[in-house]
Amino acid sequence: MPSEAPGHRSASPHAAAEGVLLHASAAHQPMQAHAHVHAHAAPRPWRLAPALRASVAWHAALGVTAAVSPPLWPWALGAAAANHLLLVAGGLTPRSSLLGPNIVRLPAAAMSRREVALTFDDGPDPEATPRVLDLLDEAGTRATFFCIGRLARRHPALVREIVARGHRVENHGDSHAKATALYGPRRLRADIVAAQETLADITGQRPRFFRPLGGFRSIWLDPLLQQLDLRLACWTRRGFDAAEGNAAIVYRRLARNLGPGDILLLHDGQAALTAARTPVSLDVLPRLLGTLREAALQPVTLADAVPPA
């Protein structure tokens, strides 16, 4: 989210060639033990988002116009700039599908089963994540954890514990740097691949979903996700618990108009602190789980609710 800190830099493979498998942590199990997770699924057929196809056609038309009628070039330049601003606005709107497919609600079949998805970002955190797992266990609930690659290498046992307790680990990038949305295609791909290989090595499961920091993205993200057989998954609503330490306010934001198919965003890492200096998500979660139970809403993982593409 906008207020999230990128954290400390750690050793990173970003300068290495694309596709290099990352083994930066001594805690990683040997590649032979997880060789099956490195077999990439065949990439989905690459399709340019409709808005980007229209943008390409628009630029071509503007170029022809300026070439045929040179006096119109200032108008053409202004029209091109307006188009760029529209694409930027789409990238800065987390729930937008302007730049490509974006899962912000569960599919109709999951809605009919009254399913919702609890998702946690920015972990693993050695203090907060185990407590979140305990609260989920007490409620008999499963969730999805979007983990940061460099933190997963720091706490691999905790990542394995998430999976061992029946939850799913998905890709939240490797560096979690604020400038990630400004990366060029090579650097962005390296960041996503580094986290993908790290999480696959640790858990034995390849993540199926990717969530960028804050939901912000560029025109490069959708083509890269298609190449890597990942799907963009943002949210229906969030409590802004990375910035707001008042549990009542965070709860109200999440519970307002809560219904089947919702994808809810909380943080197990980098959550704001309450007056008692505890992560606010830990105060919100028990009440939210109670509300879901009273509304007969069933939390599931994204992987269980969303069929493979």
- How far is it, in rounded angstroms, from Cα 231 to Cα 213? 15
- Decide if 266 contacts 285 (C-beta within 8 A): yes
Active site residues: 121, 267
**Residue entry with tokens 């960028």:** 212
